[in-house]
Each structure stands twice: as structure tokens, then as C-alpha cells.
Amino acid sequence: MNTPEERPTLAVWKFASCDGCQLALLDCEDELLTLADRVQIAHFTEATRATVAGPYDVSLVEGSITTPADRDRIMRIRQNSRLLVTIGACASAGGIQALRNFADVSEFRSIVYARPDYIETLDRSLPIGEVVPVDAELRGCPIDRGQLLDLLTAMLAGRRPHLPDRPVCGECKLRGTSCLLVTGRAPCLGPVTRAGCGAICPAANRGCFGCYGPIGDPNTAALIPALRAAGLDEDGVRRIFRTFNAAAPAFADAARGEEGEQR
Amino acid sequence: MVVLTGLTELVARLRAEGYRVVGPTVRDDAIVLDEIQSADELPYGYGVDAAPGRYRLRRRGDAAAFGHSAGPQSWKQFLHPPRRQLWTADRDGGSFTVTEPANPDERLALLGVRPCDLAAIAVQRRVFGEDSDYARRIDQAFVIAVNCTEPAEVCFCVSAGGGPRADTGYDLALTELANSRYLVEIGSETGSALLSQVVYAPAEPGDIATANDQIRTAENRMSRALPDTDLPGLLRRAAESPHWDDVASRCLTCGNCTMVCPTCFCTSVVDTTDVTGDHAERWQGWASCFDLDYSELHGGQVRTSGASRYRQWLTHKFGTWHAQFGQSGCVGCGRCVAWCPVGIDVTAELTALAATSDIDQPVPS
């Protein structure tokens, strides 16, 4: 065991999010104690109120930027972090709360809050990468525990983390799941969605809902006829692209295209 | 030739001999390949309706075990496993030890290998070479071929140089007759020795003629064909064809065609370390030339467009495979046509390339 001073410092930060991705770190039960020997957990309020002042070697950032105060805070965190890694769909793409990006936020504010003038919020839910430079992204809603551990162990070993840019289809094939679209079992975003989850939803007979967001060059236009053939109507196609990665540009464009067709 | 009535005893005998029996069975609305404990798990009475981008099981009017065409998997699932450990390394003070996993001594019995898949196994064997784990696995395996009497609408083995009759590479070859009777041909001494341990009957008059008729009928039922032309030459001339952009507009680049292809063999390697940093592992896993990061080198990816990746796949499979391995990489099983979620058909794409390619144009050197 290294002395605390020799261990790299790890900080975990939360913005607009549900805490589920931070829980993935606590969920590393078998590895957590060993990990705590290797890194100094300097800031992680989900786990401990004790905090250590920065700068930090690695900051894991959960959540999206939705207020001016959050925007200032992420800038300070970036200045205090050697590596900044976003964890989850909120931090990487804006999350489910980015549905606000497609509507009038001032109208929501006036309907929801008794004193809307108390509320200071941005018009859009922003991914972290739109405000500050990001060194790596862990995709997913929530993130995969295995990918998180790989990232942390890669950092400790000084190697590159394994974050493949390939579609979920490859992971279905590796585990022997037959294609849901081709067998007509369910609409599936697997062909345009980045792998990393291990294709858990298709293996449970459930179409991929795209929580890892788009691959590097998704052909959503070619997928839409297959989604329709699998039972989605135009509104269904729009909705399947408008979930946890609604604001990821490729998915936003696909949903917008369907809106255009509806008009 | 002899006839087996039912396959129960054959499967039980193979298991008693220590083989892990792998064969077709129904799972997730498809006929997959998996380990079976007994012949009861075979997909009796199931047929398949396959079309580009579409695969549906249907009930047949009989109890045929092999009345179905190629499913979502090929035998590479077992002979060229999706993931395998190459080595582990452990740090011990100032040095470290590298351990390679022991060669698997598991013996597979492959039950129901179609002639197209026998051809694919021969192709992969040539790719990996005689001194390979692949060659060891297939040499240790007991192969029971089944002549094809039920091609799918997506099949084109005849135009790929094959056919529905198994001619080599098996220990036993079956032709399924009516009422769960199987005409057996012996392909090896191992096959002969195993057959001698189960109850069989001499073939009845007419059995052989019936089997031959069924296979001939299958041969004439191919509804698809590769263009009858010099495909390697065509693909060299077509390198700059605008047709690649046309395919790319339809292609998802999901790589499903490569994963279901019984000859595609590409892999990538991943290194892992544990939290202590004292233990590392190297794993090999299936990869696809359609993956964006498959062609990643220092500085970025080489094939960034869908068009360039589709061209790479088709050109390797039907063109440069000849230069590399002395044969075509396609056996005409039709899986890539059926299991493409958007139904892209290689026979149609090659035909379109042939129609638009100028034969008189000199081949680029």
C-alpha cells in the first residue's frame, strides 16, 4: 500500500443527474477496498463527507450542466483536474433532461414553479464537453461497472482504457444473441449505438434503447425503415431516439427528421 | 449404405465417448447452435422462412430435425471462439511470469454441419493454417454433416462453387428421409467406429434414390446466384465505382454480415489489468472491418466512410481473398443476406457492380 501522499487522487462530482452512475463506483464491492489502497478518494460526497482539497489527478463527472452556477463550477473543477472523465449519458450527452432542449423552458418554469422568478436555469441541458474539454467519456445510463474499473485500472497502469467505438451488434454476436430486428422480436437501436454494455438488453429480449449514445458515424436514416418494419410508427421512431441521449447530435437529427415527416 | 432410425442413440453414444455435442436447437425465435444434452433438443418440426433482412421460424408439417436453413450462427462460434484468453501475466517482486492457457482438450461433436459450412470450415482452416488452435479443434472434433435438402431463399452455394451434397471433411454424413430415418455415409475410420456402436439397418431399396432426388431438388432450388464473371478482376476495376456510395447509403456498418459469416475471421486484442496492477491478461475477440476503430492507427482511422468499409469487406471476401488464400472467401450460405438488418444482398451488389463496371477498362496495377 502506498502512503496517502503517493496515491493518485480521485474526485467524483455531481451535476444534473440521478446519482446512478456514481453508484456504479460504490457497486464495485469486490474491488473497492483494493481500489481505496491505490487511489486517494479525495472528493466523493455520495460515499463520504470528508474531502481533500485539489488539484485532483482524476475527476469523474456525473450529470449535465443546467444552471449558470453549474457552468461556473465545472470550469473550476476542470482547472483543478489533470484528467476529467464524464460518466454517463447526462454528462456525455445532456441526459433525459435534455428533452428541454426541444421545448420552451420559460413556459415549463411558469407552469411548474410557484415562484418562477426564484429559478435560474439555462435554456438547454448541456453535456460537460460543451463547456470544458473532456479527456474521456464513459457512456451509458447507467455506466457499466466493468468499463469504470477498466478506466481506473488503465489510469493506474498508465495504459489506454478500452472504450471501443463499435455498435452493440458486435456484442450481441459475441454472446450469441440472435438479431432482434431480423427475427422481428423488437425495434432495436443496436446498429447505431456504441457498445460497452455487453448487449444486456437484447439478451433479455428487449431492443437496445440507445443509452450509450451514437457510434462515431451512425447511419440512422438507413435504420429507420427497419425500425418501422419492427413495429414502430413515426411517433415511435421519434420517441426511441428521444431518450437518454436525445441531445446527442445524431439522435437529435434522426428524431427531428421524423418530426419533419410528420408535418 | 445404412439407415439410422432417430438420432437419440447416436448423440448418447457421442456423449458417452466424451464429446461435447453441439447442434441446432431452438432459442430466441431462431435455430441456434448450442451444446445439446440429447437428441430431444434438436429442432424437430421447425422450418425457416429467410429473406433479405428477415428470418422467421415456422412449423413444418413433419418432424424433420434438419428441415431448416442456416441460422444466426456458424460453427466458428465453437471452432474460432468469440473471445479467448491468450495469456495472463503475474508480477512477482521484481519480475513477472507469463502463463499461456493450456490447449483445450475438449472434443467437440458437430452435429448437422451443412455442406456450405463444411466448405467454410475448410476456408477458415486454410486461413489459420495447419499449426493452429483451429486445426487442432477441428481435428479433434467428430463431424456429422447433413446434406442440404432445404435451402433458404437467401442461399447461393452452387454459384459459389459448392453444392448441397457433402463430399469431404466429415466423419459421418446424413441425409434426412421421411419418418426420422437418416441415410448414413461414412467419411472416416472414426465415423465407422462410432457407427458400429449404435443400432442401424441396411438401407431399403429406394432410400438412396430418394436421398439423391432430395439433394438434386435442393440444388435446383437456389434462387440467388453470384454474377458469372471474374470477381477478383471485377472488384479491382470497381475500386472507384460510385456504387459504393449507393450501398453505403443503405448500410448500417453494424458488422452483422461479418459476424454471421462463417469465414470472416478478424479479431482484435485487448489488454486488461486488475486494480492491484500485479495481474494482467490479454484477450482476443471477434472484430469487424465495419467497426470504426478497426482501422485505427496512430493518428486516426484509415477507413472513415461507410463506403470504404463496405468496399473493404466485399473486395476482400470475393477478390483479394483469392490472392491471399488461393480461393474465394464466400461459400454461399446466405447468412449475410438474411441477417443484415436492412437486407443488403451481396449477390445483388456484385451484380450491380458488374453491370456498371467497364470490362474494357484497364485494371489498375
**Mind listing the pLDDT tens digit for each residue in B202-216?**
999 899 999 999 999
Q: Domain coordinates of chain A in residue numbers?
A: 9-157, 168-262
CB A241 within 8 A of CB A224: no
What is the nearest CA distance from A255 to chain B, expressed in angstroms? 17
CB contact under 8 A, A178 and B32: yes
Query: Backbone phi, then psi, for B19, in 5-degree steps?
Result: -80, 145
Which cell numbers in the block locate residue B351? 451484380
> With a threshold of 0.80, does the pTM exceed it?
yes
Cell of B246: 449507393
> Are B306 and A166 within 8 A, CB to CB?
no
Alpha-carbon span A59 to A81, nearest angstrom? 6
Residues of A in CB contact (< 8 Å) with B are 31, 34-35, 38, 149-150, 152-154, 156-157, 159, 162, 164-167, 169-170, 173-179, 181-185, 190-192, 205, 215-217, 219, 221-223, 225-226, 229
Minimum mean pLDDT range among A4-13, B24-33, B183-192, B297-306: A4-13
Separation between Cα atoms, residue B46 and residue A115, nearest integer Å: 65
Which residues does chain A have with pLDDT short of 50?
A: 1, 263
Residues of chain B neighbouring A199 (CB-CB closer than 8 A): none
Q: Say if residue B66's pLDDT is above 60.
A: yes
Query: Cβ of B220: how many Cβ atoms within 10 Å?
Result: 9
Ordered by start, the domain boundaries in chain B are 2-219, 231-356
Q: Is the pLDDT of residue B364 over 90?
A: no
* Residue position matching grid coordinates 437418416: B182
To the nearest whole number, what is the mean pLDDT of chain B?
94
Say what the ipTM of the complex is: 0.94
Report angle CA B258, B263, B126 to the nearest 5 degrees.
Answer: 145
Q: Are B75 and B120 in contact (CB under 8 A)?
A: yes
Candidates B72, B270, B274; nearest CB to A179: B72
Task: Give the gap in angstroms from C-alpha B279 to the nearest C-alpha of chain A.
Answer: 11
A59 and A26 in contact (C-beta within 8 Å)?
A: no
Q: Which residue among A153, A181, A205 sits closest to B28, beta carbon to beta carbon?
A: A205
SS3 assignment, position B172: strand
**Which residues, other chains included, contact B338 with Cβ-Cβ below 8 Å and sequence gap of 6+?**
A182, B50, B51, B52, B53, B54, B55, B70, B152, B154
Q: Assess contact for A115 and A189: CB atoms under 8 A.
A: no
Q: What is the pLDDT of residue A263?
A: 44
Indicate the length of chain B as a whole number: 365
The per-residue b/e assignment along B28-37, b for 16 or more CB within 10 angstroms, e otherwise, is bbbbbbbebe
Prior bond of A142 cis (ω within 30°):
yes
The verdict on domain A9-157 having CATH code 3.30.43.10 is: no
